[in-house]
Amino acid sequence: MKHSIKYFKIIFFCIFMLTLFGCTTVETLYLQDVEVTGPINQSPIHITDSTQTPSVTFSMRFSYNPEKEMKAKTEGTPKVNEDGFYQVDTIYHDDGTISFKKSNENRYLYRGQNLTWNFASVTAGIDMDIKLSKNFALFAGVNYAGGNNKSLWGGTGGIGLFGVNNGIAFRLDAGFHFQSIAYDAYTIAEIKETSFWGSTYEYVMFYHDIDETTYFDPFVNFTFNTAKKDWVLNIFINGGYSVQSLLDFEPSSIDYDWFFLPPFVVNTTYTNDYRGETTAGFVHFTPGVYFNFAEQGRVLIGARFYYETQLEEVSQNLFILPMMQVDFSL
């Protein structure tokens, strides 16, 4: 009798474990709406006026973005109803809880703009450029961006190749930006659970995440400048291309405004994430002038023209940022 009870407990435990852990969940993620806050990445402008080495130049740079925001469309949006909204059906359960199920009215591709990029209005940076030989330099720096009630830090680092002859100079820079981006994102998760016995249960969950993350992105710049000691004003032209990551995260915070009692699920989960990364790309061009003061100082004044090339359905492509930079050489 004791052995029978023992075997019965073992069989019951095995059936219970299969029921609890033997089910499978397929989770499909879509990005609903997102706001990001941060500056347009900018690197220092490196003027070449001599090949004297070794030398160190410290730069303080400032720029202002008069635009407040840009809107665009991201990848990985779900199908919506004819009014452009993701529609759900509310399910009321006997135990008093509710859940949401995807509506059959979601048959249309999303045509709107679900990304809002809030720009930092002011960006300031401090950079150091070290010329190690007559043609090679290393540079690094940090920058602060403020606006939209956010304070965000970033920086740059890289290498430079340069040359000067008869008052005409050039420089090629390649490196990376690192920049903190704040985000406020809503994610839709369509979930399909299949139990060990083959029954299915489908529902929708909504995630709302507010956080800040740091991205590393490459850039390349080319600078041409005159270097005439007897000129009051010299000119420079800087141009290049930069990539800027805006969003790449995993949803983690359930939006309880939508889903009051999250289900207790312990099973195997497969995730299909259609959101991908959201990345901007900028072709930029900066003309300007500079003048020397004292023996080791100069001031650069110009305007940065940034043209966005990668985002879809953008509200604006061209951005003009007035800038000033002060250099001190040692």
CA–CA distance, 126 with 259 (Å, rounded to integer): 46
Copy the structure tokens of residue 265. Answer: 């699920």
How many C-beta neighbours within 10 Å does residue 123 have? 25
Mode of pairing for the β-strands spanning 24-38 and 115-119: parallel
- Fold annotation for 24-329: Porin (2.40.160)
Q: In Å, how far are 88, 89, 188, 297 from 33, measured between CA atoms? A: 16, 20, 9, 47
CA–CA distance, 143 with 43 (Å, rounded to integer): 9
How many C-beta neighbours within 10 Å does residue 25 have? 17
Whole-structure pTM value: 0.81
Beta bridge partners of 15: none
- Measured in degrees and rounded to the nearest 5, phi and psi for residue 13 equal -65, -40
What is the domain partition of the chain in residue ranges? 24-329
The tens place of each residue's pLDDT in the chain, 330 residues long, gives 555 555 555 555 554 444 444 578 888 889 999 999 999 999 999 999 887 888 999 999 999 999 999 999 998 899 999 999 999 999 888 888 888 989 999 999 998 999 999 998 899 999 999 999 989 999 999 999 987 778 899 999 999 999 999 999 999 999 999 999 999 999 999 998 887 677 888 889 998 989 899 999 999 999 999 999 889 999 999 999 999 999 886 655 444 444 444 444 445 777 787 777 889 999 999 999 999 988 889 999 999 999 999 999 999 999 999 999 999 998
